[in-house]
Amino acid sequence: MDIFKLPPYNAVASHLGYPAYFSIIMGTWKVLGSVAIIVPRFVRLKEWAYAGMFFNVTGALASHIFANDAIVVFIAPIIFACLVVASWALRPASRKMA
């Protein structure tokens, strides 16, 4: 949604005050992070990808808080942050740093 500036994301990003080009940057990093998680080996890269995903969703939560959005809007970033942490904590031993 970010890269193609689809209406749901575009409206939210605009509401939060982010410039239009920001969605392309964020979308590109999300795709690259997802690929890093899926590709075998590159354990250190995976750690950074997980960190980036966590920073992304907690940054989204902070953006909604600072925009004085309704509490209901906080639910999605909180759920995604929990999923990122769970994915990181439950990853196979072969994908963990020694």
* Average pLDDT in the chain: 92
Q: What is the pLDDT of residue 70?
A: 96
Phi and psi at residue 48, in whole multiples of 5°? -70, -35
Query: In which band, very low, low, confident or very high, does the pLDDT at 48 lie, cut at 50, 70 and 90?
Result: very high
Query: 23-37 burial, b if ≥16 CB within 10 A, otherwise e?
Result: beebbebbeebeebb
Selected residue with higher pLDDT from 87 and 20: 87
Average pLDDT rounded to a whole number, residues 28-47: 93
